[in-house]
Structure 1
């Protein structure tokens, strides 16, 4: 089959789509769940945080497992696990059961994106990394585009519980497809031609066969390692404010109906998806043309956060509801440049340990996810929605500063001798 790696990229896109549909479903169903069970904003913030806590805890182990056991097994087991607990959300009947199910759901989703970055490292040419990462991220971000509309339609027709059952079943199907088609290496796939394999491996000097644990002592002493985590903490914090609270914000602060909210809430995610693909494609083309990774990654990542900061503030102070939606759309959409640069930079500085570096980065990103729902709920409850949005906008400044310490041109140094990873060894 010609260009089979891109068919797998489409499958990765679909898994990402379902993963974010499963997350956004709770935020869209929040008004109905609050009404049925008597939950308040703080209760829902804690439930969102339970997912992110479980998700964050599995980032680093997920990256390590993907490097040692392989992306095929890790992705298959993780998608199966989270799909089961997605379906079980429909059976929850109290705050405690919701919290347990959401926490276990988060544990299941945790390993998937670090494992996907390991898959990208193995399956794509060095000049295709950002574009391939855009498929992973694009699927995740297109989920909230269609999520509100699909979820609202299912809720109106069959009730909020039907949403979780439908998407739980869909996830199980995708897990089976990944296990069947996504071989651990293109060398082991019967669908990869000799010419495609040669293209994938051109310019690669390190061996894929030797299983190694990432040199965490060296990583932990690297400013780059910490910087990529800090900038992603900020980036994900902002994104998860949108994911957790945009539907309720539009209904409470901007007075949208449920049906209008389902439409308006999709616009920011649609632009995010488009700009993620655009940034990944342009970034790879720039590097192939000889532009430095610093210019292709660092500037994309930092400019995305600057634009996000400014437009998010403008959205917070906008008086017209649809002007508010426009600024929020530009704000979240601009992060497409930052997300694309972030995941590609993990491969740039991590090499064969891209899974571990990705897990570290996404761990900090999802600490932001743990804090975003509850912090935003607290600020909105005590000081109003405008204060909550302005506070979120200001946080972007920290991410901009961190980006200039990532240095994607320079792989993280390793001090162990005898390295075969292709990462420089310090004698």
Structure 2
């Protein structure tokens, strides 16, 4: 098949990564995993020190709910502008800037004396953390060939679960040793150190004198072409493509169901399954271990399918849609199961599949649009996802409170996942080519200038 030559064995051997590219890739992934782990540990501080903060500051449970949701809403609505900033300024500046800002906000949380001050700190925390994943998507696009971007995405994407697994024991230890205020301050200082490290050692491709062979390796197999620097008009035109809306809708379902488990799993096990707090502590960690495996495998699946001749966009689209549908099915089975261990098994499979879908969803970002739109498209997708993420905790709590059971809430999440999986599979068809998006066709491949490009809105 002539159309698959870019993925053939000879191309891989001729244009393999140089030692410098491999070294850069390892450094980039290490920084993304480290910063991602810090990102998710910082998100968890409020959940861990919740009782102590309420006692010292005189806050109600409702006040804590507002503080928890403040981060999510700020994070969601910052996605849209921050993606364009990543594409304009580059990952090096935005990764360090985001890390520094959220770490300062985290440290400030250890100094607050009132609800208003804490609310402001949580808002800034959401603003600062917003660039993390759009930046990571752009790094994958910049430093990895399309046939390797799925695996790279799976590696940095698993940092969210690693951070979640690490956060409770680490933060509890710090809180017991130095108190809740110093626990927060220590994490803030750690984040600032990582921000400085990232700025010092990471480089954008434009800051490196790449050889022609290295440039060929990084772009070989791309079908979207290249653009000049992203403009506001081109950013707006991304919303005219069905691919953008399919990604946004699909990620809404993925992050909605993910945050059902992230915010309510311990309470579900205690209230619905009548487990003790001690038992909940280790049982609730099991599904998140499976999440790490799902993230790593999801990225690998995308690359294997692409190397076997499947179009890059299809090698991401179908695993994402199928795994999201599977997440819904196993969530429903968990809700209906009368056996506790069977329910935990179903939840573990659901979380495994959910992280297959997040990894392949983020991997799609790196092949669905021109390079200078990668972070913008990823941020749009994440905006849709975190609208679902912000709604899930409150919706789940309201349904459980009104019905006296978590079963209807889980079934709502399962149904939503199935609907979003179908939308994702049917709406997304083709990548967005540079020749259509760039009004002047700057640096766009000739083949896209000669014929109508795919991905156009219907």
Q: Judge same fold: TM > 0.5, yes or no.
A: yes
- The answer to whether 1:83 aligns with 2:103 is yes
Distance (whole Å) between structure 1 residues aligned to residue 182 and residue 277 of structure 2: 18
SS of the residue aligned with 1:58?
helix
1:258-279: per-residue Cα shift (whole Å, max 9, x none)? 4433322222222111111111
Q: How does 1:25-424 map to 2 (within 5 A)?
A: 25-33=45-53, 42-185=62-205, 188-189=207-208, 199-203=217-221, 210-213=228-231, 215-293=234-312, 295-352=314-371, 353-384=373-404, 385-407=406-428, 409-411=430-432, 413-414=436-437, 416-422=439-445, 424=448
Range with greater deviation from structure 2 (223-232 or 397-406):
397-406
* Matched position secondary structure for 1:117: helix
Given that 1:42 and 1:374 are in contact with CA atoms closer than 8 Å, whether structure 2 keeps it comes out as no
Question: Cα offset for 1:54?
Answer: 0.9
| Deviation for aligned residue 1:299 | 1.9
Alignment partners' CA distance in 2, 1:424 and 1:49:
44
* Mean CA deviation greater in 149-158 or 69-78: 149-158
Superimposed CA distance per residue, residues 184-221 of structure 1 (whole angstroms, 9 cap, x where no aligned partner): 11x6348x898756533445699879422261343222
Deviations 1:253-310 (A, max 9, x none): 3344444333222222221111111111121122022123354222211111121112
CA distance 1:205–1:369, change in 2 (3 Å): closer
Report SS of the residue matched to 1:297. Answer: helix
Among candidates 34, 38, 45, match of residue 18 of structure 1: 38
Distance 1:101 1:251, change over 3 A: farther
Q: CA deviation at 1:411?
A: 2.5
8 Å CA contact retained: 2:265, 2:284: yes
Contact 2:369 2:431 in 1 (8 A): no
Tell me, what secondary structure is at the counterpart of 1:128? helix
Is contact 2:150-2:360 (8 Å) kept?
Answer: yes
What is the CA RMSD across the aligned residues, in angstroms? 2.8
Q: Which runs of 5+ in 2 are unaligned?
A: 1-18, 454-458
**SS, match of residue 105 in structure 1:** helix
Q: Evaluate the alpha carbon distance shift between residue 354 and residue 313 of structure 1 in structure 2; reply closer, same or farther with a 3 A threshold.
A: same
Q: Could you tell me how far 1:151 is from its partner in structure 2?
A: 2.7
Residues 340 and 205 (structure 1 numbering): CA distance in 2 closer, same or farther, change over 3 Å?
closer
TM-score, normalised with respect to structure 1: 0.89
The question of whether the paired residues in 2 share the 8 Å contact of 1:67 and 1:213 is answered with no
2-side partners of 1:349 and 1:295: how far apart? 10
Secondary structure of 1:212's counterpart equals: coil
Secondary structure of 1:404's match? helix
- Aligned-residue offset at 1:76: 0.3
Contact 2:27 2:202 in 1 (8 A): no
In 2, Cα distance between equivalents of 1:153 and 1:414: 51
